Structure 1
């Protein structure tokens, strides 16, 4: 079965929310690590089902927030 590469509205909404939450956390905590960003998002912001890992966040920031 081929992998889906959709651009649905839910996918866009999750992407935008992730960008906003990472920006908020980094501006409030300058110099933080990817691990602390993931911990905050998963535990405090209830984004447990997004499959976030420190490695994914580390790749996400320069690609989408730079």
Structure 2
């Protein structure tokens, strides 16, 4: 199953979101990188489709690194 979750850095200026592809939730999804300028202003910087294997590796790496 594709990992789902959200990570934010210590400075609270970058956000990473893992989300399932609703058309193919078992095998693929997206990782989205957002820049946070202030509470009400977020800008999507990058969105990439990933397989569940690559997403799981990235997700667990982010968990390990904090």
Asked whether the two chains share a fold, i.e. TM above 0.5, the reply is no
Task: Judging by fraction of residues, say which structure has more strand.
Answer: 2
TM-score by length of 1: 0.30
